[in-house]
Amino acid sequence: MTGEIATNDNTAGAGSGSGSGPGAGEPDAPDQLEFAALLCSRVCHDVISPVGAIVNGLEVLEEEEDQEMREHALILIAKSALQASAKLQFARLAFGASGSAGAHIEIADARRAAEGLMEGGRVTLAWDTKPSALHKTRLKLLMNLIQFATGAVPRGGELNIIVENGNEGMVIVATGPRARVPEHSNLAEGDKFDGLPDSRAIQPYLIGLLGKQLDASLKVNQEMEEGPVTFAISYGRNAAVDDGMIG
């Protein structure tokens, strides 16, 4: 895949432009309210399973007298609470407005959030990061790209995450059995919606929007069938140098 994110739009909002109607300035984009609703739907989808498990565990504690069953319920509640917390911590960095406008966030915080999200799953993370902090918008791009890249290894595998200093870019290499280019990668590369968006398409679309804001381009590439999938972010000439990164 060779699509690139356009670099002449410095706004991160969906459908941003001079008009006020749905998708103003970008005819095929969702309007801002729809975009916000889709992001909320995505977060709710991610946390509803562990929250539901907590509720089930509490019901067992309320109704069950067997001690062994109650112990299993407590284990379920504890495990599910950790999962819900990990998902919300990740969502805060990936979708939220962390810190002030010019804030930088430690990569160590992002690493803890990402590894917490993957805890107990089939995808492991390997890190090679030159800076110790990133501007919050670049970090948001990285977090979303990490989660999106897990779709390249549906049967489990490894994501090798490389973050260079300055404007040298970021790369994620996904390896695993039956690796594939994830669905909606064209949106992450900057394409517009084709038809009605849904919650599955909103994250790659957000990646595209973040790329536009940062004057960055993403290329998703797989040279061999079921071989490694590479997600490469490069910055354009107009991209601001992230001088807050500490080498």
Q: Is the pLDDT of residue 8 over 60?
A: no
Cα gap 117→173, rounded to integer Å: 18
Cα gap 142→89, rounded to integer Å: 15
Range of the domain at 165: 32-235
Domain-embedded: residue 26: no
Domain-embedded: residue 37: yes
Tens digits of residue pLDDT in 107-146: 999 999 999 999 999 999 999 999 999 999 999 999 999 9
Phi, psi of 227, deg, nearest 5: -85, -175
Cα gap 200→24, rounded to integer Å: 23
Domain-embedded: residue 15: no
Q: What is the mean pLDDT of residues 154-177?
A: 96
Domain-embedded: residue 113: yes
Domain-embedded: residue 211: yes
Tens digits of residue pLDDT in 44-68: 999 999 999 999 999 999 998 899 9
User: Tokens 């090798």 label which residue?
Assistant: 160
Number of domains in the chain: 1
What CATH number is given to the structural domain containing 209? 3.30.565.10
Domain-embedded: residue 106: yes
pTM of the model: 0.83
Domain-embedded: residue 155: yes
Domain-embedded: residue 190: yes
Measure Cα distances from 31 to 14, 27, 50, 63, 201 in Å: 6, 9, 31, 47, 15
Q: How confident is the model at residue 34 (pLDDT cuts 50, 70, 90)?
A: confident
Within 13 Å and on the Cβ side, how many CA atoms surround 205? 25
